[in-house]
Amino acid sequence: MILPEILSTPSIDFSKIRPDILLLQSKLVQWRRQLHIQPELGFHEQVTGMFISQILTTIGIPHKTGISKTGIVATIASSQPGPVLAIRADIDALPIQEENELPYRSQNDGIMHACGHDGHTAIALGTAYYLWHHRHDFKGTIKIIFQPAEESPGGAKPMINEGVLKSPDVDAIIGLHLWNNFPLGTVGISSGPLMAAVECFHLDIFGKGGHGAMPYQTVDSVIVGAQIINALQTIVSRNVNPLNSTVITVGELHAGTGLNLIADKARMSGTVRYFNPNLKGYFNQRIEEIVSGICQTFGATYELDYWWLYPPVINDKKIADLVCSVAMDVVKTSDRIVSSYQTMVGEDMSFFLEEIPGCYFLLGSANQDKGLTNPHHHPRFNFDETALLIGVEIFVGVAEKFCQ
Ligand SMILES: [Zn+2]
Ligand SMILES: [Zn+2]
């Protein structure tokens, strides 16, 4: 969905991008398109990993491969000691069949870079390229983290467990997501929660099947399921403080095999989203209370499988202010900065931000004039590649200011 109030023809002032980064554009586009051609799913990014490693080797940047299967960390050390900043890019694609007619469309059937992670990887490579060639212009160390499996099941946590934030210890981390909900060059940022926690559940309801004309002889799992779906929404509307934004969505419901049969089983699956980390544990418990009460009322039984996927993405105010001031220099006008932006989507960048201060932000990549407005995860998703330059400029600007 495009936010109508900020949808306008983007005007980018290229004088705000340093010449050495402008010169990188053809490389950025070439890298991004090569990645787009060969998308791979989470923890299977072998070709992607080899591609990244090859480029880093050609530039001359020391790096470690095979972290959490397919993750890579490149280290750019200046000649002077100083702070350590990490820059994170996710590298995985989605199980979607691409419908774009492009010379660089996906060659892997059923897999597509439909979220823009090919762009994130290209931006990280461009940032690495620039910072390596200007490594005497800053103090300290930049670590570039190429993370697998953001879409699922999550590569951030295993990379942290394998020590990517250690030796040298990382002081702060930044990352970005290209964002087709914004026109090219608009930056969405928050100095607190930016993205929601993601929790998920499967629920099986067991009733008693029978003839559709004689329901009194049965326990109708469809009726029980319907009551539960309705009641779950009261958690949002009647249990949680309305100032704590929350979403509960039942996205799947499966039951029954015939129009005149009472279904003995129903299965539903859903997701819970919220920003306030203090609510962790609450939804699991409340959903179970509701499910158990309704099942007992109707004489059904159930099995609830509930798990926590990602915590909320919460930015550090100081780092967010730094990113904001750099972004303001690049995009020029304050109406191109959407501060206090929040979205209920989730991201495993949150695990890094639980460990160390940092800032994740959104970089507008839609361009209505070029027909590039499809949302993320759409089979015709594509973005304006000018955003690659802007991403590199912001990353480099933050790196130089943090490491001075
Ligand atoms: Zn995505
Ligand atoms: Zn994504």
Percent of the chain at pLDDT > 90 equals 94
pLDDT value at 6 more than 50: no
Cα–Cα distance measured from residue 194 to residue 176, given in angstroms and rounded to the nearest whole number = 12
Average pLDDT over residues 381-385: 97
Ligand 2 centroid, distance to 43 Cα (angstroms): 15
Q: Which amino acid is at 77?
A: A
**Partner residues linked to 206 by β-bridges:** 265, 301
d(CA 292, CA 228): 10
Alpha-carbon distance 197 to 248, whole Å?
12
Q: What is the mean pLDDT of the chain?
A: 95
CA pair distance 157, 329, nearest whole angstrom = 33
The tokens for 207 are 């009733």
Q: Determine the Cα–Cα distance for residues 94 and 200; give it in Å rounded to an integer.
A: 19
**Contacts (Cβ under 8 Å, ≥6 apart) of 327:** 187, 189, 337, 361, 394
Instruction: Using a CB cutoff of 5 Å, list residues around ligand 2, an ion.
Output: 115
Q: What is the reported pLDDT for 10?
A: 64
Catalytic-role residue among 40, 45, 150, 347: 150
Query: Given 40, 45, 90, 92, which residue is catalytic?
Result: 92
The pLDDT, as a whole number, for residue 333 is: 72
Convert the pLDDT of each residue in 223-277 to its tens digit: 999 999 999 999 999 999 999 999 999 999 999 999 999 999 999 999 999 999 9
What is 197-310's CATH topology?
Alpha-Beta Plaits (3.30.70)
Nearest bound ligand to the CA of residue 178: 2
Least confident of 13-17, 77-81, 280-284: 13-17
Distance 178 CA to ligand 2 centre (A): 8
* Ligand with minimal distance to 349 CA: 2
Over 60: is that where the pLDDT of 294 sits? yes
Q: Which pLDDT value is given to residue 13?
A: 80
pLDDT tens-place string over residues 311-367 = 999 999 999 999 999 999 998 776 789 999 999 999 999 999 999 999 999 999 999
* Cα four-point dihedral sign 283, 149, 175, 4: negative
Output the pLDDT for position 15: 84
- Residue 92 is a catalytic residue: yes
Average pLDDT over residues 195-219: 98
pLDDT band at 3 (very low <50, low <70, confident <90, very high): very low
Residue with tokens 């306030």: 276
**Segments making up each domain of the chain, as ranges:** 4-195+313-402, 197-310
Please determine, for residue 4, whether its predicted confidence score (pLDDT) is greater than 50: no
Note residues around ion ligand 1 (Cβ under 5 angstroms).
Answer: 115
Question: What phi and psi, each to the nearest 5 degrees, are found at residue 379?
Answer: -65, -10
Tokens matching residue 379: 């089979």
- Alpha-carbon 352 to chain mean position: 13
Q: 66 CA distance to ligand 1 centroid (A)? A: 23
Strands 141-147 and 71-77: antiparallel
Position 8 pLDDT exceeds 60? no
Q: What is the pTM of this model?
A: 0.93
Q: Which CATH superfamily is domain 4-195+313-402 in?
A: Zn peptidases (3.40.630.10)
| Burial bucket for residue 75 (CB in 10 Å: 0-12, 13-18, 19+) | middle
Query: Given its phi and psi angles, is residue 400 left (phi above 0), alpha (psi -120 to 50 degrees) or beta?
Result: alpha
> Confidence class of residue 1 from pLDDT cuts 50, 70 and 90?
very low
For the question of residue 369 being annotated catalytic, the response is no
Q: For residue 91, how far is its CA from the centre of ligand 2 (angstroms)?
A: 9
Asked whether the predicted pLDDT for residue 7 surpasses 60, the reply is no
pLDDT band at 14 (very low <50, low <70, confident <90, very high): confident
Predicted pLDDT at 152: 86
| Whether the Cβ atoms of residue 247 and residue 344 lie closer than 8 Å to each other | yes
Structure token pair of residue 5: 């109030």
* Residues present in the chain in total: 404
